[in-house]
Structure 1
Amino acid sequence: MGHRLSKIYTKTGDDGSTGLGDGSRVPKDDLRVEAYGTVDELNSFIGVLRAQLAAVSSPVPHDLDSNLSRIQHELFDLGGELCIPNFILVKEHSIQRLEQELDHMNEALPMLKDFILPAGSLAVSYAHAARSICRRAERHVYSLSQREDNISPLALQYLNRLSDWLFVAARHISREDGGTEVLWVKSE
């Protein structure tokens, strides 16, 4: 296990730098910090989604909450992977599991014929917001992978699949909640 923090503030970042997991220091706006920081933001937002799902009156399928919980742990792993150069934690089986869950959730949904807006109930909206944060994380990790050759392609695949998973989860939550999807209407 890592170091225990007895003091939360260290003052080492007061100069605009931060420490990576390998002990090296980089500017706080470094692309690597932006990548794992956005993964952390995504993880936090999935926590908000889970809290909202727990607060709704209609029962949330247990597997959705347990899957989101597992995803939070996987995102923490991904953040650790991005924080420590040349360190790999994301595994192929995590991507395959997302694909299986995607297929399972998608089976019960009607075929998508139109674009849908990121709207609906609060839980649906949170799922869409998490999806868009996930896409941003994916863009940052891609940019980092173009600069450094030590970024595992599985990290990008995981985020790509997760954003699809969150989109389908938003549709699934809408159906479970008895809501309807908000379809995009092209402006005149």
Structure 2
Amino acid sequence: MTKKSKVYTRTGDKGTTGLVGGSRISKGEDLIDLYGEVDELNSHLGYAICLNKEEELNSFFKKIQVKLFDLGSNLACEQDKRLQFKLPQISEEDIKELESEIDRLDSTLEPLKYFVLPGGDKGATYFHVCRTVCRRIERKLVKRQEDANDLPSNSTQYMNRLSDYFFVVSRYLNKESGEKENYWIPNS
């Protein structure tokens, strides 16, 4: 019988954390904040899945959760060691798959005439939360690329497309539940 490992290691008690490659850095580093936010988005998506009853969508959402975990693991690894550890990468095919899903869901919706205010169905509203967290991560990825130029391939593009996907999902869920969209109409 194998010995069960403990959840706590005490190695982070002094404010550092280990990267996948073995080096230790401060938990206050922007990189740690960045992959922590990817983890946060994954948790938000997990909650959104609980609110949704459509199995086909939930199956795709779970694929996205895996991709987010892939991204987080790459961010938690030194750039020069990502290939050595054979970490799964975000591919152009992953981005195309998101685009295909956006197009599929969007084809069922009325064309947009105004900005959509978050609201309506609980699930739809929560996908707006996912969308905004996703946009925050995208901004931080862009900043990281400008500062360190060490991002995993396709990460910024994937997050950009993912936030678009979450927007379309929120519209789709409102339509499916019969909830009316709320629009921002200036000067109305």
**What TM-score comes out, normalization by structure 2 length?**
0.90
CA–CA separation in structure 1 for the residues paired with 2:26 and 2:146: 19
Q: What SS does structure 2 have at the residue aligned with 1:48?
A: helix
CA–CA separation in structure 2 for the residues paired with 1:124 and 1:141: 26
Match in the other structure for 1:75:
68
Q: What SS does structure 2 have at the residue aligned with 1:183?
A: strand
Cα contact 2:39–2:69 (8 A) shared by 1: yes
1:64 to 43, 57, 64: 57
Match in the other structure for 1:84:
77
Match in the other structure for 1:57:
none
Q: What SS does structure 1 have at the residue aligned with 2:112?
A: coil
CA–CA separation in structure 2 for the residues paired with 1:185 and 1:92: 36
Describe the shift of the 1:5–1:175 C-alpha distance in structure 2 as closer, same or farther (beyond 3 A).
Answer: farther
Unaligned 5+ runs, structure 1: 55-59
Alignment of 1:1-188 (within 5 A): 6-54=5-53, 60=54, 62-86=55-79, 87=82, 89-186=89-186
Q: What SS does structure 1 have at the residue aligned with 2:17?
A: strand
Unaligned 5+ runs, structure 2: none
Deviations 1:101-124 (A, max 9, x none): 111111011110001111112111
State percent identity of aligned pairs.
Answer: 39
Cα contact 1:42–1:130 (8 A) shared by 2: yes
CA–CA separation in structure 2 for the residues paired with 1:36 and 1:132: 16
Partner letter of residue 172 of structure 1? Y
Q: How many angstroms does 1:146 deviate by?
A: 1.6
Aligned pairs, number: 179
CA–CA separation in structure 2 for the residues paired with 1:153 and 1:91: 8
Q: How many angstroms does 1:145 deviate by?
A: 1.4
Q: How many angstroms does 1:63 deviate by?
A: 2.0
**What TM-score comes out, normalization by structure 1 length?**
0.90
| Off by >4 Å, runs of 4+ in structure 1 | none
CA–CA separation in structure 1 for the residues paired with 2:107 and 2:153: 28
CA–CA separation in structure 1 for the residues paired with 2:20 and 2:60: 27
Deviations 1:114-149 (A, max 9, x none): 011111121111100000010111112222112222
Q: How many angstroms does 1:77 deviate by?
A: 0.5
Partner letter of residue 184 of structure 1? W
Describe the shift of the 1:95–1:5 C-alpha distance in structure 2 as closer, same or farther (beyond 3 A).
Answer: farther
Describe the shift of the 1:130–1:144 C-alpha distance in structure 2 as closer, same or farther (beyond 3 A).
Answer: same
CA–CA separation in structure 2 for the residues paired with 1:122 and 1:29: 34
Cα contact 1:34–1:140 (8 A) shared by 2: no
CA–CA separation in structure 1 for the residues paired with 2:159 and 2:148: 18
Q: Tell me how large the CA RMSD over aligned residues is.
A: 1.6
